[in-house]
A and B are shown apart, each in its own frame.
Chain A
């Protein structure tokens, strides 16, 4: 069947609209702030044959790029070989098993078949981050878990809705195993409502253009997305580009985990080989295959944001399955850190490899941590327990055009951090500061952005503090001669005595009493290019605005400047010349 290009475009935007409406419905109707406000969710359309991605909502959380095509494929396979129940119209499966094409347990996936004339035309699927799925700690991010059972309830694909009706028995099992269960019904209904809206819109599209035309368009769009991605990749000279990135530790064994990446460019295709990376780890910093693949895709989309998200765009990207490494963990390895932290190190490795080939498009390393800080305790004034989550941003990497952004969100997220005023309303804490972390941006022709420097004091009751962060051991690396950003720094003051957690960026259940404080300084971004090539006026401006001291300007950038930002041009020239000779 041949399609005119106009119909093709109209169907493409029609499919995109279906996904965008699912995203919107899910967020608007969701109960949890993490979905409703932080948009920690994603919706898409998947092939009936192999689950491959047809279209995905533009507003989905980036870490979910491509993940649901793996969970949908596994579901289709399990149905085919009888390991999952066969579907009927109106059924909706629920699954959160990380090893079946997932991320961590908190990312709960729904999948629904769309029928046309008695046959499945495609699948609709969405993922939402539930605030809790049981396990050792509220929220699921246990820094010291050594098996997935400690991380929460694990669901294989089962039909939560059967022919349109919620199965109360399955739901009762779920509710008996998670915290604040009474609120989850709000998210379950929203997640299902999004799929139903998607089905309605998709059926309208199919009725209008015909199933055969839409199928043909989907196949053609896939070919074209692949061609578009290849056109982009042809900018990369053939060759092998290597990089290394480090996770501080797995939270249990205090040794860095290494990601070794070799990207081979050959004729418009890229092959990603993680051979030589660390073996599976004891603590929760393992990644599952779907998350590893998705991390590669999201990094590529950060580099080429214009390519539509579809299986076609992924076609020229070949990831060799990293068997035997912590990037391809199997049951029962704990995995809670994969979506929030390991994914960002994988993306960093992709950036570090490809900046060598695409220096105008790729940035130096961003802070690359979600900065999860959980404080759990009992508030005697309210007579109730609480769990507070503080996420934080960090500096982005400098790039060919600009300095890096300060306090940007994680590479894999788009969620806003909560306001200090809201946190203090809800929890017995007082923020002593919430400030730009001076001096943290890596030096460079374009410097890295600055991290965040905040300090929280516990006001009432006993509490425990837990951290899952990263880049505490090494700062985000600079590129092309740029300096590294400052590493993440956690300091806990207990009874007036200051301490740093043994694993630097990860710790669990540090006891706090009223008056104790936690100070977190998040990473600055890596610098881009030779710091001695930075415009002296820009260095002067940074000093005048107290982002760097005059001493730092001199040492890092070779610029002699007074505290008010006035640059001594002659002294600077001499200093920079001496630096180049030395």
Chain B
């Protein structure tokens, strides 16, 4: 391994998604960008990575940096293809991972199932106990520990979790148990509960550690194989891998904290949005990533994505490490429309998925979806049906809408399709509103950043519904995650628990913790093989009123706040978020947090659309006209995105098509192209 050039000039961002592997290759010296989209190879994602590099005709030996987003751990968790993992825990608490927090999957319905992440026979107890203040109640029984480790290793466990009660308060027993385990455990796949997350709540901490352990061997094998494969092709540097917090980390260390990669895919897209928005002068964004089965929504304030430590990736599976807070809404292009027994039109949550998919995919889908409605209304090109297998015609799609939706509601097929779009948009707008309100924000203060295959088709209508004034469609909406890899920062997040009344907290200790967190973050960034232009720190405290159990994150501009600062900033933040003032009640300092962010060299996004393809006028960028439904069919111009002149201004109605998406500009709306090739659509009222 050699050090990279101070400013890497050829950077590849490669994101492996469920269906496609996307690649963006930036060559700063030449000012060029190359793109590739190849099918993902899910049994060995490394093959897909190589295919993508080949498709882009990349000279692998000449690459200065590869940043990689992988779904290896995501898929393993969601499909429960996990490594056999053993747990050693405090006597009396073997079942914490199985009992959970006393819940059920849905508020109504007394059915449902739950499978603990580690089965009961691989969860063993050893005598040891700390109390809540970190004092030893029962010493660690090392003989019992050795016996338990032997038993787990003999039963074929590939990874190990050591999770003791109150280890966040005093990790001595976990640390000692870890030392013993390293002597006897057959490999390095050992996760200590407090190491990833040093906070109380034994179920959440335990699940986080168990997820980490049970994907660690998979991720380790995968990144080793990928690094070997790339080295075999002449690549000379480290591969960096995306984490769910939107930062990246060297492939050499990434498996140590494998749980942090579980939700990295959606995080990449949000990082790209933040970067693009900052350059476009729109630092406050709601991201709207609409795909086939679901839509991801996230909030960005001041070009910083919202990060949460309390994500639950599915029912009763909390992974409490810092992750970009991406909320998934169960509606996408494949959402199925139906008329309920009460005679009401419902869109989603059932989805046609990727197989059979919407009718218009020609893969055997027979039920009406949002994508099919877009096709009937001319919003998507009906001509594309000729290119899909199965011989589906527009008349076939219309017949389905007539039968399934139109007949029961007394509508013709086109009106039925329009109704599906209207209801689908309303439902998605409601979901976006709930996300923003739950984060204490008014959607009208944001611009909507639309990406994913279907996002730009619906964005204007949803923004209008929410009172959002502007929609931003980036130059390459279909490969936003790969762009996220290219522009990602290095990032390390730290949390330290104080849990003391503000009036009594030792402020010098608070300042010392901020300083320690900063130093540790800079040390970790220093060991990564990437040139850094600037190191930034984001500091915050988590606070609450005495008697509360939920906390509010309060940003701080400095690592040396006064006691009065804490109190005042908390009260201000509380009022802004909850619209309630409580001068009667004392405040409590819960956590002290620092995120240390290493920012890399600025990347010029204007090359995302090759200037050579641009035409001199809108007329020349026009590929044709077709009738598109806006209350009635309107003859609408169709433009090819890559051909738009640099300073294009488009008055709606218009459709802009490009390789990976279709953008709908509604009547009264105006789109302007900016220097980076984004379309900024201002909504008419």
Query: A residues within 8 Å of B by Cβ?
Result: 5-6, 8-10, 12-13, 17, 20-21, 24-25, 28-29, 31-33, 36-37, 58-59, 62, 180, 182-183, 185-186, 189-190, 193, 224-225, 227-228, 231-232, 298, 301-302, 305, 351, 363, 366, 391-393, 396-397, 399, 401-403, 405-409, 411, 414-417, 419-422, 424-425, 430-436, 452, 455, 544-547
Contact = CB atoms under 8 A, between A and B. Distances in A.
Contact of A17 (B99, B103, B109, B433): B433
A186 B112 contact: no
Interface string B117-144: 0011100000001011000010000000
Most buried by B among A62, A396, A407, A544: A407
Contacts of A5: 343-345, 409-410, 419
B120 A546 contact: yes
Nearest to A396: B110
Contact of B166 (A59, A190, A421): A421
B110 A419 contact: no
A366 B109 CA distance: 12
Contact of A10 (B98, B202, B342, B422): B422
A537 B426 CA distance: 48
Given A186-B548, A231-B341, A424-B132, 4 more contacts: A186-B585, A399-B110, A421-B168, A435-B93
Interface string B538-557: 00000001011110000000
A573 to B, nearest CB: 26
B63 interface: no
A452 B579 CA distance: 40
Nearest to A459: B131
Contact of B102 (A20, A183, A408, A430): A408
A424 B170 CA distance: 14
B110 A36 contact: no
A28 B440 contact: yes
A13 B95 contact: no
A5 B201 CA distance: 48
B107 A24 contact: no
B104 A396 contact: yes
B121 A544 contact: yes
A433 B342 contact: no
A485 B165 CA distance: 30
Given A28-B440, A419-B201, A434 B580 contact: no
B427 interface: yes
Q: For chain B, which range describes its interface: under 10, 10 to 19, 20 to 34, or 35 or more residues?
A: 35 or more
5 smallest CB-CB distances across A and B, nearest first, come from A393-B102, A433-B92, A224-B342, A305-B108, A416-B101
A576 to B, nearest CB: 26
A227 B341 CA distance: 8
B344 A9 contact: yes
Contact of B547 (A17, A31, A232, A405): A31
B78 interface: no
Contact of A406 (B98, B108, B584): B98
Contact of B99 (A224, A232, A452, A455): A452
A183 B433 CA distance: 30
Nearest to A180: B547
Given A13-B430, A430-B131, A424 B342 contact: no
A363 B341 contact: no
Contact of A28 (B343, B409, B438): B438
Contacts of B101: 416-417, 419
Interface in B157-185: 165-166, 168
A419 to B, nearest CB: 5
A21 B202 contact: no
B98 A31 contact: no
A298 B101 CA distance: 22
Interface string B403-443: 00000011000000001001100110010011001101000
Contacts of A393: 99, 102-103
B261 to A, nearest CB: 26
8 contacts: A8-B344, A21-B434, A36-B548, A58-B107, A190-B580, A430-B129, A431-B92, A435-B94
B2 interface: no
A391 to B, nearest CB: 7
B95 A227 contact: no
B579 to A, nearest CB: 6
B31 interface: no
Contacts of B112: 402, 405
